[in-house]
Structure 1
């Protein structure tokens, strides 16, 4: 029987289901797009190319107690070097989370992420789901429109492990009906896929990114 190694997830669920209410006052939404300049390492061999990869996300927040908020993120990943095999896949992050804190100085979200990977790793095709713990934190710098942020997903299931983390700085421009956020930071994907039998499936992708976000 497959064994789920997500003790952190169990703790996160136990902590969040006991919350009396969401931090959001009424309804809210976020939508963003990032351009990521990433270098890949495939089975511990650094690829020769640097790719501009896109990431897109939307999030919806509400006031209903005990019902989690929702976020969907799409990332397109591809890398092909002269001395390494090619890797190309799409990643969908389907996230259910709770707002633990939400004010001008700090916001903190925690939840679960169901990740879907679909594509090619060398000659192997794969279409798999993976569970992960999710967290997001933003720290505002007082008296400035600048804040720091970090987002983290970690999962380990059936000998496959996934780490997807980013950190950076955010500048907020207040508009009439929404906040326009400009983002810059660094993102790392570190995956050990156990989908290909005896063949290794190690993939690391890292680099700087820039993006924009609308926060309604």
Structure 2
């Protein structure tokens, strides 16, 4: 959020095509995300739930905000959705062109990157509260592999850009340096249902004319329901606490 209060006359521009910033600003941030993965996947209308190991994922992002009318602000965020798991299938399981029999003991390696290309406008922004609206092209790219105890392997490659709606709100707690924030990305289309949301608290550790440094922590959850996307059916949830820092020039 900006440190200056907009005049009341500008509030009439809520929802206008102004990007929202008074000057060009650059943001860069990094997070450590403790991820619990649950659910399963398959193909040919069959699926299996896996017992996934917890992991810590790194998330990195940069954003550029500017005052140019019509042109949206840009944020690019990148992280991994990786998890190793195992299961014993209770029915026939098909994946990557291979049929595994009932009772097969399987291991999986889910190695997918998650990159968000977010275009947004600051539709409201003052010293205490801000709202961003826009669109997010979420790009999922990577490999999902399965192997049984006999060494029979199967693999599918996921390479999919998906359009999501984007919403973010932030509210400052006066005289504390603290603010609360929430973000939602969502898609429900053609049997696919994807949500990516987070909420947390930020603390303004350094506040100068040249540089701001914010520390933040919270909770993030990504839910993927994919219906025959690149031959993959999936119901997977990734969620957990995160902590990180952001620099604003």
1:19 matches 2:16: yes
Where 1:63 maps in the other structure, the secondary structure is: coil
**Are positions 1:97 and 2:120 aligned together?**
yes
* Higher strand fraction (1 or 2): 2
- 1:165 aligned residue (197, 222, 232): 197
Distance (Å, rounded) in 1 between the aligned partners of 2:17 and 2:168: 20
If you compute each CA radius of gyration, which structure gives the higher value, 1 or 2? 2
CA distance in 2, matches of 1:17, 1:159: 33
Which residue of the partner structure matches residue 204 of structure 1?
237
Distance between the aligned counterparts of 1:35 and 1:20, measured in 2? 34
Q: Secondary structure at the match of 2:108?
A: coil
State the Cα deviation string for residues 149-170 of structure 1 (Å, max 9, x = none). 1111001233222100010110
Alignment of structure 1 residues 1-216 onto 2, 5 Å: 19=16, 21-43=18-40, 45=49, 47-83=51-87, 85-122=108-145, 123-176=155-208, 177-194=210-227, 195-197=229-231, 200-216=233-249
TM-score of the superposed pair, with normalisation by structure 1: 0.86
The alignment's C-alpha RMSD in Å is: 2.0
Shift of 1:196: 4.8
Give ranges in structure 2 of 5+ residues lacking alignment.
1-12, 41-47, 88-106, 146-154
What is the rounded CA distance, in whole Å, between the counterparts of 2:18 and 2:234 in structure 1? 42
Tell me how many residue pairs correspond in the alignment.
200
- Assess if the C-alpha contact under 8 Å between 1:186 and 1:209 holds in 2: yes
In the superposition, the TM-score normalised over structure 2's length comes to 0.75
Consecutive unaligned residues of structure 1, counting only runs of 5 or more, are: 1-15
Instruction: Work out the CA distance in 1 between the residues paired with 2:246 and 2:17.
Output: 29
Moved more, 71-80 or 168-177: 168-177
